Structure formats: C-alpha cells, structure tokens
Amino acid sequence: MRFLKSALLGSAAAFAAVGGAHAADLPVKKAVPIEYVRVCTAYGAGFFYIPGTDTCLRISGRARFEGGYQTSYSRQYGNNIGDTSGYQGRMRINLDARTQTAYGTLRAFVRLDAGARTGYSGVGQSGTQQRIGQAYPGIGTDQFGRDSQYMNVDKAFIQFAGLTAGRASSFFDFYAHDFEIAGATAGSDVFSTNLLAYTATVGNGLSATISIEDPVFRRTPIFSPFAVSPTVSTGSASNFGVTVQPTPIFVGPGRYGLVDSIEKSRLPDFVGAVRLDQAWGSAQLSAATHELNVGNLSSAGNAGGLGAGPILVPAHTKNTQGWAVQGGLKINTPFIAPGDALYLQGAYGDGAQLYTGYSQYTGSYIQSTTTIQGQKFAQYFSDATINPFTGQLQTSQSFTAVASYLHYWTPEWRSAVFGSYGEQSFSQSARAAQGAIYGLVSGLAGAPGFGTNAVGVPGTRFYQLSQALRDTYQFVAGASLIWSPVKDLDIGVEGFYTQIGLKNGRAIDLDKSPGAYNLVTQINNGSYVPRTASQDSVSQVRFRVQRDF
C-alpha cells in the first residue's frame, strides 16, 4: 500500500514537472493598457481629451419646460382660434471639439435643438418655424394649429484662424433677446443661418467681420394680392407648399398679366460688422445687403394677358438690393450689482425687414399674419411690392429700437425689464399703384379674388379702410423674475404686453366684421358700415423651468 501511494505521488510530480516545462515555452500575453480619459484644462471646465487624440471635447446640454397664458378675445366660427394656454418641452445637446494647432485653435461646434409644442401660437405652434422647415405640424382634428414637433440643427460650424464656416448665428445680430424668455421684442435674431465669415482681431478688444450669409433666412415675401398660403388640407395630409405666386401687373391700359413673385436663391447676403469688447461692455456696428428678385411674366402676360385694349408689356423686373444698418451697445453696470447690464440697439432697413426684426413677435417668412387670437387687422411685412405700371420693385422701410436691462437682486434672484418700438412703411405711390391694378382686375369676369389683401380703388371708402400695405407700428414692454436656487437651474416667469397699430387712420375690424371684404361695393356706397379699429393688443405670461448641464 505504501508502495502504491509512493508510485502515484511520484507519477504526479513527474507530470507536473513536464507540464511546467511546456508552459514555460508558451508565449506570455501582455495585458492591454487601459487609456483613461484625461481632463483637458486648456479651454475651461468640462473638457476632456478624446482617447487617442490631442482633441479636447466638451459635452453639454439643456432640458426645459415652458408653459404660458395669452389673452384671447375671440372664438369666431371657422377660424380655429380661442386658445389661451400653451406648453412645450425642449432639449438641447452641444458638442464642442477643440484642437491646438500651429495656426491657433481649431474648433468644431454642433448644437441640436428639439421640442414638442402645443397650444396657442408662440408657446405652442410656431408658424415661423414651420415656414422654414424647422417644425412639423400635427394634423389631427384637435391638433392642427396647436401642435407641432420642433427640430433644428441650431449650430454646426468650424472655426479656424479667423474663419467661421457652417451653420451659426448671423454676424449682423447683437442683442438677440439675451435677457428674455419669449424673445418678443422687435430686433434681429437669426440664430441659425448658413454662412462663411472671416473675423480679423485688431487688438484691445476690437474686431471686424465680413460674412457671406444665406439669404433664405432673411426673406419676407414680395407682396402679392393673390397671395397663395401654404396650408394642410382639412381631412387629408396633402403636401403643402407654394410653387408659383401670381402677382398682377398692367400689360396695357385695360390688360393685366401675372409675374411670379417667388424669390430665387441667387446672390448671398453680404454682412459686415465692427465690434468692440472691453471691461465696460460691448459695442457693435453692422451693415448688410439683401438681394430682392422675382420670376418672369407669364407667357399669357407676354401675349396680352387678360382684359381688352392695346398691349404694352413692361420691361422685365430688375433685381434690387435691399440693405440694413444696426448699432448696438451693451454697458456692464457692476456698480449697481454684479452681473447687471444694459442693452441698447437700433436698426433701419430698406427692403430688408428681417434685418430690423420688426416681425419678431407677430411671425416671419410671410407677407402678412396675425398672432393675436381674433386680431383686428393684419400687419404687412413684405420687403417690396411690384409696381404694376412699371413692373419694377418698390421697397418698404422699417426700423426698430430696443432696450433691455438685467438686474441681480441677489446671486440667486434676477430680473429683466425690456421694451421695443418699431415701424414699417410702404410708400403712398406703392399702395396707390396696387389700388389701380385692383380697380382693373376686380372688374373683370373670372378674375381671381383678392380677399383680405384687397387694397381698393384709390379715393374710395374701402381704400381708406382696407388693411393691405398700411403703415403700422408695434410696441412691446415686459419684465421677468428668475430664481436660480442652484447652479445651472432657472425657474422663472415673464410677462409682457404687445400693441400693434396703424400710423394713420382706421382699418376694418376682422373680428367684429369678418365678412366685410366681400362687401366692397356696399362699403363704398355707404349701405354697409363695417366696424373699424386703429390698434390691437395682447398680454402674455410665460413660466419656465430650465436645467443646463
């Protein structure tokens, strides 16, 4: 027994020795080194090195809830109005990548914004965002006009050695509603456009920028009395869009033809800005050019159009350069409280309404619109009209002025007070010319209807009361209170008042006399007297909870 045990133990030892010898001959696998994420301190807090590169990346974002109340004075049948509340949930994701090179910092920045919006215009549905393809409307019975999904590539640009290329905020802008929740004051604020720019840094905080920018995000349609509006058909999900915008002009004393007034993408906008940033604050002077163009006269128009009498086809409509200038000033006032600041800004535009931002509250990218529930008359924002006698463009003029002050009561509590005033004007000759073409077209059998875009024949009562191409003003005033109990969390409320009005005279009240534009003859002969108004107003309150990270 002892012999057997000794034999077994000896055999086991022998096998172990042989196995150890073979194991010693096998290659040893080294552990893969773990590359830990390193903090990058070169560009501020939150940056880290992308593993395996010398590029620093910062990931950040935002979550937001917003609710609001807006007064409503009408539930008029057939107009899909009467909403007083609105809600939205928004998200934002930022990626900021930077690499140090021999030429300076190479930067790429991407920002994606998205949200779900319901309720009244402004908080809920945004016609402005839908018109530029950044929001998509719900089409249910109870959803159309008050529900939309919002999605926007807000930023996607590269910066290198003074060059900025991609999607970014316009270099024309300055204040851009920095202290506001709703952004209701008049003023330029194109936060997403496509551009190619170069900025030269002179020194002592002084810089100068030349920027080539996408004109699509600065266009307000050329006025057309036959304005075709993009809509979603009731009961069906038909594609919506406008492919021709017929605008009548004279092709003889008793004839008219149609020009397609849709603008085409030809020349970019050219923007220049000089900016000064110092400890006391900032100042900026901006200027821009903006091309206006239209399509050709229809073949029927060239052949004599509609009507009777001799044929006298005017010259082709020439392109026109609109332009705008802006001055802005920001004054830091730490002597009142740390963080306090005052913004002052003014802008003037000729054929460039969106550079002055006059339509900021009411709605953009459309010749006229109404935002107030049951609004009494529409404002017209067109950059130009087509003179029906000459076939040439006549530009409109607009200006805006805004002031905004931010005050910190304590490090956790702050308030902003803000206000703006603006006007838009069309020349008397431009409106009278549209009245003349109305006089011809409206008297012809089978001619298209003008609807609420009808100007009327000059000298008549209807001409005095029609809303189209009237000179208007807009006034906004508001204030906010925001609580930041912890870093990067804002809980705030904002209220503001908006008034729109006519600079002269009165206009038909569309809410009180909704059928008046079908009774032109009766208005002119005195058998029908419509209700009229010279101004309209609305109050709104917004509540916001926002977390940045």
Helix (H, G, I), strand (E, B) or coil at 198: strand
Residue 234: predicted pLDDT: 47
User: Per the structure block, which two tokens stand in for 314?
Assistant: 């005017």
Say if CB 381 and CB 219 are below 8 A apart: no
Q: How large a percentage of the chain has pLDDT more than 90?
A: 71
- Higher per-residue confidence, 118 vs 210: 210
- Higher per-residue confidence, 149 vs 329: 329
Residue 338: predicted pLDDT: 97
The mean pLDDT of 169-184, rounded to a whole number, is 96
Residue 225: predicted pLDDT: 93
Residue 235: predicted pLDDT: 46
The mean pLDDT of 317-341, rounded to a whole number, is 97
Round to whole Å and give the CA distance between 492 and 182. 12
Q: Which residues of 293-327 are buried (b: 16+ CB within 10 A; e: fewer)?
A: bbbebbeebeebbbbeeeeebbeebeebebbbbbe
pLDDT digits (tens, 9 = 90+) for 260-275: 999 999 999 999 999 9
- Higher per-residue confidence, 401 vs 26: 401
Say if CB 424 and CB 397 are below 8 A apart: yes
Residue 19 CB contacts under 8 Å (≥ 6 apart), including other chains: none
Residue 302: predicted pLDDT: 67
Residue 298: predicted pLDDT: 86
Residue 145: predicted pLDDT: 78
